[in-house]
Structure 1
Amino acid sequence: MLIMINVGWLEYDLQAFIINVLFDTIIGGGFTLVFLLYFLRRYREVSALKKSFEYKLTAQNDVIKARLAPHFFFNTINTLVSLIESNPSRAASLLQHVSALFRASFEGAREISFEEEIALCEHYLAIESIRLADKLIINWRLPDEDVMYDMVITALMLQSVIEKMLLNVVEMTTETIYIDIEVTWQQHRVTITISVQLPKKTLMVHYDLRQHMNFYIQAERLRAYFGQSADIQSTVTSKQIVTVIDYPLQDVSL
């Protein structure tokens, strides 16, 4: 009888031990799972932060390169040198355009009014027109002034797109290149369509053009200010390049 009691006690003690072990295992596993989920979340957050930081570094790199753009800088200096003796008044005018453009460039990425961006584009085109002469004709189709008054964009966004067109198309031919720029603002979205008519006689390698018409960095800068739905897409055909800048913009007057 005493042995039976002891065996029963042992069985009870073993069951309690097993239950305690299972309970400790479940609790321990639960805490482990919670910590794993926490560290996994932190890892994802750190990875996303690192990726975002790398994007920002790339964008800053691009801005620095744009500020110092060797081809544009040296071409402008050479033009100024030639104008100082032959046409001093035109050289002075060119310096004003250069000053305005480079001042905006060194102020870095920021949100400016659309009218300011158009003015920066005009400064840039005034500089380049001295070199390009009659090789470039730009046709602007802009909203009314009262509409443009409320519009904003990131600084030098449109200018950088136009610069790529000049560098990869206009400077590659002796023919006159026509660029149409149409700006609309409807249903809280701004759409800027830049259409470039490719030369008919000059051979342009379209595969290379598709590679050069990549506006990834500009699109990232646009999304940083206007959200993930902002985008820049470019289509290259045998006859033209069509680049569309599209981003959301609420009408503050409503």
Structure 2
Amino acid sequence: MKNWRSYRSKTSQENKNSSIANDEVALLAERLEFFIPKLMEIMKPWQWLLSIFFWSLFLAIVDRYSVTNETQFVIKIIARFIQTTLTLLSSFYLIDYLRPVFKRMRTLRVSLYILLIITINAVVTLTLVLLLMMNTGAFTFTLYAFTSTIVFNTLIIAGFTIAGLLIFLRRYREMTALKQSFEKKLAAQNDVLKARLAPHFFFNTINTLMSLIETNPSRAADLLQHVSALFRASFNGVREISFQEEVALCEHYLAIEMIRLADKLVVSWQLPDENVMYDMVITALSLQSVIEKMLLNVVERSTETVYIDIKVTWLQDRVVITISAQLPKNSLMIYHDLRQHMDFYSQAERLRAYFGQSSDIQSRVTNKQIITIIDYPLQDVGL
């Protein structure tokens, strides 16, 4: 698995656009910056050598009219192999060196530059190989033979380069479409969460605020601060945040609801120490949305005090958050309704989009308690 850098490092000012949550998304974003992949990302070294050998054999067969015996044919294959290897190595490493410059250019312009680089390198390397063959007596120099060989091979390499660029461009467009679809899906899921958070919560908070303005102005001011922090986070878009920030958002939310629910709610936290939480991340409002549903479907329907326990562990590269609520004794109606209302499909999809398909949010309802578990992979940067 990839060793992630710490959250603070990845989200510092110079790395503010970096993501540490999902490897696939990070790789997709990196590839979209410049559609030509790196040399070793295309094939392994032995695959390159095998491909170059067959390419050299193909060129030698195409140019067989200039071969008079088997020895010259073998020499021509070796010469093509050396020339192709030098061309590809010099071209791809030059392209990698210019990658930061190419990222700022349009695709068509980059394609022209790449075609020019590979073509020029082909001419230079072929010239060097022909000069070496002349010195060893493997190639008899005539101006026509020398020029025709260079022109012939340059046209072939340019043609195959154009074909390769068209293939890469098609894959780039497919990845772009995939990224746009991915962003639209996340945006739609985020809009659903906003719509679920806003209506009931907004009106309940306004009513609480109106009553506090007259009876307890200082507490009303505190409530406004909590509301501001929570709504600012909910409209910041789909993203991963530090776990400490998510806990702070949950505390803002609980502080607001505890004013309205009075003594009907008791929440206890079991969190890792600060050094462990320092590198933990989660998608924004994932934990908050679970707590919110528990309050809506359990606490608000009960006349008794409801105890909610939140336990967070991070072991063996997996984060497990267990949110359990003890159901009140008069919970017959609640027990039947909870199975239908405790659904976290949208939240789980958002979690999978950032942390992979092994992420999930599951709820289990018994006649005594409801337990919701948020489970997703996150490698420990300290390992």
Given that 1:63 and 1:108 are in contact with CA atoms closer than 8 Å, whether structure 2 keeps it comes out as no
Give the secondary-structure state (helix, strand or coil) at the position aligned to 2:218: helix
Residue 191 of structure 2 is matched in structure 1 by: 61
1:202 shift after superposition: 4.1
Which segments of 5 or more consecutive residues in structure 2 lack a partner in the other structure?
Answer: 1-173
- 2:318 is aligned, of 183, 189, 201, to 189
- Residue of structure 1 aligned with 2:378, choices 232, 249, 253: 249
Once the two structures are aligned, what percentage of the paired residues are identical? 74
Do the aligned partners of residues 142 and 60 (structure 1) sit closer, same or farther apart at CA in structure 2, a change above 3 Å counting? Answer: closer
Could you say what secondary structure the match of 1:59 adopts? helix
Deviation per residue, 1:43-85 (Å, 9 max, x gap):
xx9xx96996885464133133135x21110010011111111
- Residues 119-134 of structure 1 mapped to structure 2, 5 A cutoff: 119-134=248-263
Alignment of 1:78 with 2:203, yes or no, is no
Q: Measure the CA separation in 2 of the matches of 1:56 and 1:118.
A: 22
TM-score (norm 1): 0.77
Q: How many residues align?
A: 209
1:25-50 Cα distance to aligned partner (Å, 9 max, x none): xxxxxxxxxxxxxxxxxxxx9xx969
CA deviation profile, 1:176-223 (whole Å, cap 9, x unmatched): 000111000000000000111101134334232111111000000000
The yes-or-no answer on 1:229 pairing with 2:358 is: yes
- Could you say if the C-alpha distance between residues 149 and 224 of structure 1 is closer, same or farther in structure 2, counting changes exceeding 3 Å? same
Q: How does 1:21-36 map to 2 (within 5 A)?
A: none
Structure 1 runs (4+) deviating above 4 angstroms are 48-55
RMSD: 2.1
Q: What code does the residue aligned with 1:59 have?
A: Q
2:248 maps to amino acid = A
Residue 89 (structure 1) shift: 0.4
Q: How far, CA to CA, are the matches of 2:240 and 2:194 in structure 1?
A: 18
Are 2:243 and 2:277, in contact at CA under 8 Å, matched by a contact in 1? yes
2:240 aligned with 1:111: yes
CA contact (8 A) 1:177 1:196 kept: yes
Give SS of 1:181's match.
Answer: strand
8 Å Cα contact 2:229-2:249 kept in structure 1: yes
TM-score by length of 2: 0.52
Change in CA separation of 1:136 and 1:62 when aligned onto 2, cut-off 3 Å: same
